Structure 1
Amino acid sequence: MVDSPASPAAAAAAPHDVVIVGGGLAGGLIALALHRHVPGCRFLVIEAGRTLGGHHRWSWFETDIRPKARGLMAGFALNGWDEGYDITFPGLGRTLPTAYRSLASAEFHRALMAELAEGRVMLGTKVAGLDAGGVTLADGTRLAAKRVIDCRAFKSSKHLAGGWQVFLGQHFRCETPHGLTRPVIMDASVDQVAPHGNGAAYRFVYVLPLSPTEVFVEDTYYADQPKMDAEVLKGRVAEYARRHGWQGEVIDQEAGILPVISGGDFRAALAEVAIPGVALAGARGGFSHPLTSYTLPFAVDNALAIAGLLARRPDVSGSELAAFCKRRATRHWGATAYYRMLSRMLFEAAEPDKRVVVFEHFYALKGRLVERFYAGRSTWPDRLRILTGKPPVAIPRAIRALFSSGKPLNMETPA
């Protein structure tokens, strides 16, 4: 059990086998995998914030994680729904049978701090620099390490193309039971207009029934700019809750802006953030779903792959680990090309007010196809089926988007 996080003085006392910079989802799961599968590994997680995982909620379909990898999530108190989920569009309402899971960052922090050995986590600690031989903290303390893994947040690049997914969610404690038994993954029957007259944008509301009287409501839209008007989104969430009769207090809130990648020069983008001899993981290293921005399934796979390599080869060098992660990232980029093409269709081929039609067309397809899509494992028949039928976009625009390199990812810092 961890009594308290590691102190810089204690951490600097001896070289570490692995230092992980960034205690978000990717970094936390790598630490957990090392703890469980590499006995004796002297690792350290350095996190600038006061908790591991920040302030987030991660959700995924049960089928997103391969059966043999699901054990890594054992030990976390998850919200789970085995009876499937609902989707609603202007012309389509449907229940799909896939089980759904969700994990709050507060539980992520609690479970990791309880399981990891004492002294393996440094919270509230800023890093000044990383290199192949270790990490230098902002106060000048030097931590020597055989291997360093950079799991810091995604950094936008002039070499990438795409748009953004903007969201704000609130956790309500209702005065009376809300009556929901399943999540509503997408309610796109709502107004398809971006805040402050910025035009149409694919928008939906996401709802998780966390208990009979607690519900999480999130307003999400796809946008060309990484901007958020939190007050407008709060108002939209409150209006949606009122419309459904959910009266009560807001006990928590989260917000974020995630990249939706549609193309680019991945090697050049990776080179912008890569440090010689330092491994890259998480969204910063390119491990996300280009269209949905989901990261958890890929974080699980990466954590187990890294732990498996160190268990097989305890003498693997930091440079070899960095090359290992780069190869995995390059393969992931290649394997997800189809989803980047669909992102281009969304942002370039579909008129903004017709983007909802693209998703409605997709959700009318077979449930197993939808499962494989979210997991990033669409088969070739799946891919053909998604693109066949009555086209939700104009064919000339679709052809141009197909061969486009994508709209440059706006380099403005997400607000």
Structure 2
Amino acid sequence: MVDAPLDVLLIGGGLANGLIAWRLRQTRPELRILLVERGATLGGNHTWSYYHPDLTPAQHAWLAPLVAHRWPGYEVRFPAHRRRLSTPCYSISADRFHQVLQPALGDAVLLGAIVDEVSATGARINGAWQPAGLVIDGRGHAASPHMRYAWQKFVGREVLLRQPHGQALPVIMDATVSQDDGYRFVYTLPLDERRILVEDTYYSGAPALDEAALRRRIDDYIAARGWQVERVEREESGVLPIALSGDIERFWRDKPAQLACSGLRAGLFHATTGYSLPFAVRLADEIAALPALSEAGDCIRARSVAQWRGQLFMRLLNRMLFFASAPAQRYRLLQRFYGLPQARIERFYAARLTWADKLRILSGKPPVPLGAAFMAMANIERGTSSKPS
């Protein structure tokens, strides 16, 4: 522990805080920072993926050392069609995240830490109070009575196969599987010729995750592909919020006074995919460029409010997905979406849709009953008593 006040204290060594710490070390090495993580490694046990249009060339450049895998495109598979897109995509593993950040940050990392109290002026870490000029709480999603969510939940298994799998590109959605517990798809990332990550994923109204059942379904999927597993090398799971509606001002008013947050805890994620990496990269750049770190709390809140308001259309689409169609038929909305031009799909994932994009996505005959679609679209943005199924 550092006895004197720090310039920056980051609570939680996940994606957002890790990127902030690393970017500050790259651009402002004179700052005294500490990144605190309760686990034994930074980044936990996750895989983060993103697409080339999500980031600027400069952001790609500084993030590059963290990238474990790159592909020149990806595939999607639905009952009515299959498609290959030429959008480059990337993956960051938790192992690579830790291997790069730990030596880069050195003694600015504290692992295995117990944090009992966090405020805007410091935190109690391993029983001792550590003051800091800026504290950023990045300990993951926190429930709020002012937000209504559905959930993207998954179990993933990285397996080593006995023979090459023969899959050159990621398949980010294979929705040809049986539709259970909402919209279901399998996500596969080929890591080398015999290693592949297989994730069973659900867009569901409930966050409960039956990991044993999903493991069995992953085994069934692998068998159906004709693959034979030599061994399971690792496993990951997660439950990500999918925003339906809410009140962003009240969301922030309920947080401890003046305490800055990051990542999911700040509501900085894609409303439909639940992914947070592009938002974390943009936030790290913005904080590193601030003339005074005392402005960071206001900067983060302003970014959070702006992105929430900017994703109103995404939340409308989410309500259509969860309220306008039966769970077993939800795949039809994504099946139709993946018939759109590639550039439009890229702007959707980057959360940079134009008005023309929005009109085109809603135009034509929707693959859901029109009455239900209009009711979902009219659903009150600040939330109702109804719950997604």
- Say yes or no: TM over 0.5: yes
Equivalent in the alignment of 1:397: 372
**Among candidates 325, 341, 362, match of residue 337 of structure 2:** 362
Equivalent in the alignment of 1:127: 115
2:195 is the alignment partner of 1:214:
yes
Higher mean displacement: 206-215 or 388-397: 388-397
Equivalences for residues 156-175 of structure 1 within 5 A: 156-175=143-162
2:103 is the alignment partner of 1:114:
yes
**Among candidates 221, 238, 245, match of residue 240 of structure 1:** 221
Give the Cα–Cα distance (whole angstroms) in 1 for the partners of residues 322 and 211 of structure 2: 23
Task: Evaluate the alpha carbon distance shift between residue 114 and residue 89 of structure 1 in structure 2; reply closer, same or farther with a 3 A threshold.
Answer: same
2:284 is the alignment partner of 1:303:
yes
Equivalent in the alignment of 1:198: none
SS in 1 for 2:17: helix
CA contact (8 A) 1:161 1:408 kept: no
CA contact (8 A) 1:72 1:300 kept: no
Give the Cα–Cα distance (whole angstroms) in 2 for the partners of residues 190 and 407 of structure 1: 32
Equivalent in the alignment of 1:148: 135
The structural deviation recorded for 1:64 is 1.2
CA contact (8 A) 2:153 2:240 kept: yes
Task: Evaluate the alpha carbon distance shift between residue 102 and residue 409 of structure 1 in structure 2; reply closer, same or farther with a 3 A threshold.
Answer: farther
SS in 2 for 1:288: coil
2:183 is the alignment partner of 1:202:
yes
Task: Evaluate the alpha carbon distance shift between residue 112 and residue 283 of structure 1 in structure 2; reply closer, same or farther with a 3 A threshold.
Answer: same
Residue 35 of structure 1 aligns to which amino acid in structure 2?
Answer: R
How much is the aligned-residue C-alpha RMSD, in angstroms? 1.5
Equivalent in the alignment of 2:83: 94
Give the Cα–Cα distance (whole angstroms) in 1 for the partners of residues 92 and 14 of structure 2: 13
TM-score normalised over the length of structure 1: 0.90
SS in 2 for 1:17: strand
Residue 232 of structure 1 aligns to which amino acid in structure 2?
Answer: A
Deviation string 1:365-415 (CA, Å, 9 cap, x unpaired) is 1111000000000111111111111211111111111121356698xxxxx
Residue 129 of structure 1 aligns to which amino acid in structure 2?
Answer: E
Give the Cα–Cα distance (whole angstroms) in 1 for the partners of residues 198 and 232 of structure 2: 10
Residue 363 of structure 2 aligns to which amino acid in structure 1?
Answer: T
Residue 10 of structure 2 aligns to which amino acid in structure 1?
Answer: I
Give the Cα–Cα distance (whole angstroms) in 2 for the partners of residues 407 and 99 of structure 1: 39
Give the Cα–Cα distance (whole angstroms) in 2 for the partners of residues 409 and 41 of structure 1: 48
2:358 is the alignment partner of 1:383:
yes
Residue 250 of structure 2 aligns to which amino acid in structure 1?
Answer: A
CA contact (8 A) 2:67 2:91 kept: no
CA contact (8 A) 1:161 1:409 kept: no
Higher mean displacement: 205-214 or 159-168: 159-168
Give the Cα–Cα distance (whole angstroms) in 2 for the partners of residues 224 and 171 of structure 1: 27
2:300 is the alignment partner of 1:325:
yes
Residue 62 of structure 1 aligns to which amino acid in structure 2?
Answer: H
Task: Evaluate the alpha carbon distance shift between residue 307 and residue 379 of structure 1 in structure 2; reply closer, same or farther with a 3 A threshold.
Answer: same
Deviation string 1:116-146 (CA, Å, 9 cap, x unpaired) is 1x31011111211122221112x42011111
CA contact (8 A) 1:163 1:409 kept: no
Residue 32 of structure 2 aligns to which amino acid in structure 1?
Answer: R
CA contact (8 A) 1:157 1:409 kept: no
Give the Cα–Cα distance (whole angstroms) in 2 for the partners of residues 382 and 360 of structure 1: 17
Give the Cα–Cα distance (whole angstroms) in 1 for the partners of residues 37 and 251 of structure 2: 24
CA contact (8 A) 1:21 1:152 kept: yes
Equivalent in the alignment of 1:5: none
**Among candidates 54, 68, 89, match of residue 58 of structure 2:** 68
2:26 is the alignment partner of 1:36:
yes
Give the Cα–Cα distance (whole angstroms) in 2 for the partners of residues 408 and 94 of structure 1: 38
Give the Cα–Cα distance (whole angstroms) in 2 for the partners of residues 74 and 171 of structure 1: 23
CA contact (8 A) 2:67 2:90 kept: no
The structural deviation recorded for 1:271 is 2.5
Deviation string 1:187-225 (CA, Å, 9 cap, x unpaired) is 00100022xxxxxx1100001110011111100011111
Equivalences for residues 11-90 of structure 1 within 5 A: 11=2, 13-82=3-72, 84-90=73-79
CA contact (8 A) 2:278 2:350 kept: yes
Task: Evaluate the alpha carbon distance shift between residue 175 and residue 340 of structure 1 in structure 2; reply closer, same or farther with a 3 A threshold.
Answer: same
Residue 245 of structure 2 aligns to which amino acid in structure 1?
Answer: G
Equivalent in the alignment of 1:350: 325
Task: Evaluate the alpha carbon distance shift between residue 348 and residue 409 of structure 1 in structure 2; reply closer, same or farther with a 3 A threshold.
Answer: closer
Equivalent in the alignment of 2:252: 270
CA contact (8 A) 1:148 1:279 kept: yes
Give the paired residue count: 385
SS in 2 for 1:74: helix
**Structure 2, gaps ≥5 residues long:** none
Q: % of aligned pairs identical?
A: 40
Task: Evaluate the alpha carbon distance shift between residue 375 and residue 262 of structure 1 in structure 2; reply closer, same or farther with a 3 A threshold.
Answer: same
Give the Cα–Cα distance (whole angstroms) in 1 for the partners of residues 385 and 275 of structure 2: 21
Residue 179 of structure 1 aligns to which amino acid in structure 2?
Answer: G
Higher mean displacement: 70-79 or 46-55: 70-79
Give the Cα–Cα distance (whole angstroms) in 2 for the partners of residues 164 and 400 of structure 1: 21
